[in-house]
Amino acid sequence: MDLTRRTLLSAGATALGGVALSGRAWADVPAVVRGVLVQENGQAARVTVALDAQAQARTFFLSDPHRFVIDLANTRLGAGQTESVGAGVVRRVRYGAQPGGVSRLVLDLEAPARLLRQELGGRRSPELSFDIAPTAPFVAAPTQRATAGRGQRRTIVIDPGHGGRDPGAIGVTGVREKDVVLDAALQLRQALESRGQYRVVLTRDADRYIPLEDRVPIARQHDPDLFISIHADSAPNREAQGVSVYTISERGEARAQNMAQNWDIDFGDAPRTGVARDILLDLYQRETTNRSAQFAQTVIPRLGEVAPLLRNTHRNAGFMVLLAPDVPAVLIETGFLSNVTDERRLSDPRARQAMAEAMARAVDGYFAAPQLMAAGA
C-alpha cells in the first residue's frame, strides 16, 4: 500500500483532528479490534470500530484511488479479519497489521469524501465512530446491502399500547389508556402520511388485544426505520404530570443480547454464527441505541411546545418494545391519567392532534438532520 506524500490528501490527520501515535501513550497490553460495521447514515456512511479497550487513532484520506485510513496504535486484529462489507460511499474495509503494533483499517471509497464527525470513545465505550460523506453526488456500485435496501420512503411503525381486553391505565374519571393512545396513533399516522414521504404501519389500528411479545416482531416484518410506541402513564402520586420519553437502558441492552436467537438481522456477507455474529450484533445494538437517543432528544422539545414535560423527560428502561437491536425505538408516555389536568388534556381530541403533529415534526427533523448524537447525551 503506497502511503507516499504524493497521494496524501491530509498530512497525518483529518480536519477534525488526529492524534500522533506516540508509544508512551499506550498501555503494555494491546487493544483488540473486534470488528467493523459500516451503515448508511443519511447522506453519510457511519463506520463503527469495535474495540475491547481504548485506542487512539490517526486518520487521513488518500487519492488515486480514494481511500480513508484509520491507524490504531498498540492494537492487534482479531482472528481471521481481512475484509468487511461497506455501505454508501464506503465500498469495503480492508485490514492490515503495520510495524510497531499499529493496526491499519483502509476504507476503499466510491468517490471523494470528507469526514463529518468522529467519536474516539472512552473507557466505558471504547468503540470508535466516523461519519464519512461524499463531497459530491455519486452512484454507488450495487452491493448485497444496497439491493436489499428499502425504498425511498421511510417506514415508521407506530405502536398504540394495550387494546382489547387490556385497557391499560384508567384515569380518575374513567378515561382508558387504550382509547387515547389509539387515537393519538391514528392522528400521527395521518400527519405522517400527509407528508407523502413516509410509509406508516400500526401494530393495531382498532381496539384489539396484541400480546406484548408480538409487537416488536410485527414491527420488524416491515423493516422499519423508526418504531414509536405510544402510552399514557399512571402513578400513585396524583401530582405527577407531563410527557416522558423512554429509550433502552443498559439492562435492556443486556436482555436484548441474551435474546440474540430471536433477531434475524441482515449482516451482509459477514458470518452469521459464532463470535463474528456476536460482535456485529453488539455494534448494531450500540448504533441503534445512539439513534434512539437522537430521536428522543428531537421529539422532547417538540412535545414540550404542546404539552407539559415530566422532569428528567428522557428516561431509560428495558421495556420489551425497545429491545430490537436493529430498530431505533422510543416509548412516549403522553401524560398521567392519574392526574386530573393530564387526563383532561389527553381526553381532548385537539390536544391529541397537537401532540401527533409535534411527533410528526420530530420525525421530519430526525431524518433531515445528520445522525450525530450519542446515547445519553
**Domains of the chain listed by start with CATH number:** 23-144 (2.60.40.3500), 154-368 (3.40.630.40)
Instruction: Compute how many other C-beta atoms are within 10 angstroms of the C-beta atom of residue 324.
Output: 24
Q: In what order do the strands lie in the sheet with 83-87?
A: 57-62, 67-72, 102-109, 90-98, 83-87
Task: Evaluate whether 93 touches 54 at the Cβ level (below 8 Å).
Answer: no
Q: What is the pLDDT of residue 373?
A: 31
* Block residue for cell numbers 443486556: 254
Q: 103 or 4, which is more confident?
A: 103
The pLDDT of residue 69: 93
The pLDDT of 23-28, averaged and rounded, is 47
Question: Would you say 36 and 140 are in contact if contact means Cβ atoms under 8 Å apart?
Answer: no
Helix axes 349-368, 274-304, angle to 10 degrees: 130
The span from the CA of 308 to the CA of 244, in Å, is 9
Cβ(338)–Cβ(172) below 8 Å: yes
Q: What percent of the chain has pLDDT over 70?
A: 77
Q: Which tens digits make up the pLDDT trace of 165-189? A: 999 999 989 999 999 999 999 999 9
Bigger pLDDT: 146 or 345?
345
pLDDT band at 226 (very low <50, low <70, confident <90, very high): very high
Q: Is residue 243 over pLDDT 60? A: yes
What are the tens digits of pLDDT across the range 111-140?
999 998 888 776 667 888 899 999 887 665
pLDDT of the residue at 43: 74
Model pLDDT, residue 12: 35
Band the pLDDT of 264: cuts 50, 70, 90.
low
Q: Which helix (H) or strand (E) covers residue 311, if one does?
A: strand 309-317
Q: Is the pLDDT of residue 305 over 90?
A: yes
Q: Does the pLDDT value for residue 276 go beyond 90? A: no
pLDDT > 80? residue 258: no
pLDDT at residue 347, as a whole number: 96
Is pLDDT at 291 greater than 50 in this prediction?
yes
**CA distances in angstroms from 10 to 3, 16, 66, 259, 290, listed in the order given:** 11, 11, 12, 44, 29
Q: Please, which pLDDT band fits residue 16 given cuts at 50, 70 and 90?
A: very low
pLDDT on residue 323: 87
Residue 161, all three cell numbers: 399500547
pLDDT at 34 over 70: yes
Structure confidence at residue 118 (pLDDT): 86
pLDDT at position 328 over 80: yes
Answer yes or no: is pLDDT of 55 > 50: yes
The pairing of strands 113-119 and 31-41 is unpaired
At residue 144, does pLDDT exceed 60?
Answer: no
Q: What is the mean pLDDT of residues 145-165?
A: 75
* Predicted local distance difference test score (pLDDT) of residue 81: 62
Greater pLDDT, 240 or 33 = 240
Lowest mean pLDDT among 49-58, 121-130, 232-241, 320-329: 121-130
Q: Which of 129, 128, 86, 130 is CA-nearest to residue 111?
A: 86
Q: Where are the alpha helices (DSSP H) in 90-176?
A: 144-147
pLDDT for residue 143: 42
- What SS3 class is residue 279? helix
Tell me how crowded residue 94 is: count the other CB atoms within 10 A of its CB. 17
Average pLDDT, the chain: 81
